Structure 1
Amino acid sequence: MSGDERLLSQRPADGTGPDGQTRAAVVSLLVDEGPMTANDIADHLGISTAGVRRHLDNLQSDGDIEVAPAGFSKSGKATRGRPAKWFQLTPKGRGKLRHAYDDLAGAVIRKLRDVAGQQAVEEFAQERIDGITEDVVPVAESGSVIATVNQITDALTAGGYAANIREVGAGLQICQHHCPVAHVAAEFPELCEAETARFTELLGTHVQRLATIANGDCVCTTHVPVHVMTDGGRQPATSDTPDGKVPR
């Protein structure tokens, strides 16, 4: 057994010893980075992959983390051999992670509503997502829905949402596997509503929010109707492309 694994084998009941601290570090990484593989976590923490896997097993047994859906990859690039497992927080796990800055953000938005009214909250939410997607070229200018969908997911990922695209039967799904403002959005759904409105604006068609992390779902999922995917003809599935993106 390596030195770091002997250290990690200590499991104080109060969770304050080295073992508890390492588990907390794993969870913190998943909060900040979104889904990660065991190897990535080990590299970040500077410990062995075997040690990390034991912590992942414990967190999974406790219901705090889960394996991301099959085929998930942040890069979207296909890899040879057996696909790596990506681990993500569950709603239960996120529920244990209420941070002081979440409380502060919530207090600030409540004060904004008290002082300036509900419209000010809605404008704040809209300006926030507008800023995240400011470099996305709308369909009206790009002439390509496919290009705009890809740009949206790229912008969301850069903003900490670990987003990707799936082609599902009747259309596309924009999937956000992490939400950096989930606790605040649970109290202020205006944040989620502003995202949906922004997607609709950029794509030039009505989109439907199917699930949100703020409501206890594991992924924020937005449905884009199939008729906007065509761009002159049915496009190949994302799984048929080398980078996992919808062809432009």
Structure 2
Amino acid sequence: MGGRPAATVAAGRESHEGQTRAAVVQLLLEEGPITAPEIGERLGLSAAGVRRHLDALIEAGEAQAAAPPRRQGRGRGRPARRFQLTAVGRARLGHSYDDLATAAMRHLRELGGDAAIEDFARRRVESILSGVQPAEPGTEGDAEDIESMAEEIAAAFTASGFAASARRVGTGVQICQHHCPVSHVAEQFPELCEAEQEAFVRILGTHVQRLATIANGDAFCTTHVPVLPPPGVPQREPPP
């Protein structure tokens, strides 16, 4: 009995490569910046396999090595390189009807001015977060409550295509949106991003700080939410 035709084998190999490449892209989207060993561990790939996919994505302009953190530890050796998607890589994931949406937003501004755009942006984010209950009065700043609500916010945005996550970082919680399906529109209409931040403040009942946005060219949107220490735990005084 003869083996499978060479063309069939090649097609199967290309299909598998494509699926693996898509998995690498998805991991860069949701977890990036991420190291090559971490990619290999998560996807069960060899170091050579990870390097092959990363090199192809970098050559296509879809991925890049992330800038190292400004504050490095004093340990020996270089920190591991971390990789993330570029704006080109995110665009390949699809931004449906960008031109149509932008044209509609411009027409809306012509008809109703800035107030109409702001109202639309506010209604849009309220729709995304309609299932998230605002903080109860008197619980503002409580670490556990804020972290729980931040996770609910992230889940709501993920359901709307933003690939969002929430995690404790230092003295606060960070909400990260690893993908933005409306980033191209938000580049021209920052009211969309501003409405999101206002909604976070309303729901969490505390001040938040936007650290980065995809619309401004960053790798992902990051919002920092400060939290108070548990009762009885003194706050550290800032260094003189």
TM > 0.5 between the two? yes
Following the alignment from structure 1 to structure 2, what is the Cα–Cα distance between the partners of residues 146 and 100? 32
Residue range with higher mean Cα deviation, 182-191 or 54-63: 54-63
What amino acid does structure 1 have at the position aligned with 2:154?
T
**1:91-102 residue pairs with structure 2 within 5 A?**
91-94=87-90, 99=95, 101-102=97-98
Whether 1:137 aligns to 2:133 is yes
Choose which of 3, 14, 17 in structure 1 pairs with 2:9: 3
Question: Partner residue of 1:128?
Answer: 124
In the TM superposition, residue 57 of structure 1 has moved relative to its aligned partner by 3.2
In the TM superposition, residue 202 of structure 1 has moved relative to its aligned partner by 0.3
In the TM superposition, residue 91 of structure 1 has moved relative to its aligned partner by 2.0
Does the Cα contact within 8 Å between 1:212 and 1:221 map onto a contact in 2? yes
SS state at 1:139 partner: coil
Question: Partner residue of 2:176?
Answer: 175
Question: Partner residue of 1:201?
Answer: 202
Question: Partner residue of 2:60?
Answer: 62
Following the alignment from structure 1 to structure 2, what is the Cα–Cα distance between the partners of residues 142 and 151? 20
Q: Please list the CA deviations of residues 87-132 of structure 1 after superposition, one character each: whole Å capped at 9, or x if unmatched.
A: 8531243456785610110000000000111111011111111111
Following the alignment from structure 1 to structure 2, what is the Cα–Cα distance between the partners of residues 61 and 170? 39
Question: Partner residue of 2:217?
Answer: 216
Distance 1:3 1:56, change over 3 A: farther
Percent of matched pairs sharing the same residue: 48
Following the alignment from structure 1 to structure 2, what is the Cα–Cα distance between the partners of residues 178 and 39? 23
Does the Cα contact within 8 Å between 1:125 and 1:194 map onto a contact in 2? yes
Distance 1:109 1:160, change over 3 A: same
In the TM superposition, residue 61 of structure 1 has moved relative to its aligned partner by 3.4
TM-score by length of 2: 0.65
Following the alignment from structure 2 to structure 1, what is the Cα–Cα distance between the partners of residues 160 and 128? 6
SS state at 2:123 partner: helix
Q: Please list the CA deviations of residues 35-70 of structure 1 after superposition, one character each: whole Å capped at 9, or x if unmatched.
A: 3878999xxxxxxxx99984553013333125899x
Following the alignment from structure 2 to structure 1, what is the Cα–Cα distance between the partners of residues 225 and 56? 37
Structure showing greater Rg: 2
Q: Please list the CA deviations of residues 130-175 of structure 1 after superposition, one character each: whole Å capped at 9, or x if unmatched.
A: 1111111111279532321121111111111111123222311111
Does the Cα contact within 8 Å between 1:38 and 1:53 map onto a contact in 2? no
Distance 1:96 1:159, change over 3 A: closer
Question: Partner residue of 2:30?
Answer: 35
What amino acid does structure 1 have at the position aligned with 2:171?
A
Question: Partner residue of 2:35?
Answer: none
Distance 1:52 1:126, change over 3 A: same
SS state at 1:35 partner: helix
- The list of structure 1 runs, each at least 4 consecutive aligned residues, that deviate by more than 6 angstroms after superposition, is 36-41, 50-53
Unpaired runs of at least 5, structure 2: 1-5, 32-38, 68-81, 140-144, 234-240
Following the alignment from structure 1 to structure 2, what is the Cα–Cα distance between the partners of residues 145 and 39? 32
What amino acid does structure 2 have at the position aligned with 1:35?
E
**1:157-172 residue pairs with structure 2 within 5 A?**
157-172=158-173
Q: Please list the CA deviations of residues 178-214 of structure 1 after superposition, one character each: whole Å capped at 9, or x if unmatched.
A: 1111111111100100000000000111101010001
Whether 1:186 aligns to 2:187 is yes
TM-score by length of 1: 0.63
Following the alignment from structure 2 to structure 1, what is the Cα–Cα distance between the partners of residues 232 and 101? 45
RMSD in angstroms over aligned alpha carbons?
A: 4.1
What amino acid does structure 2 have at the position aligned with 1:3?
V
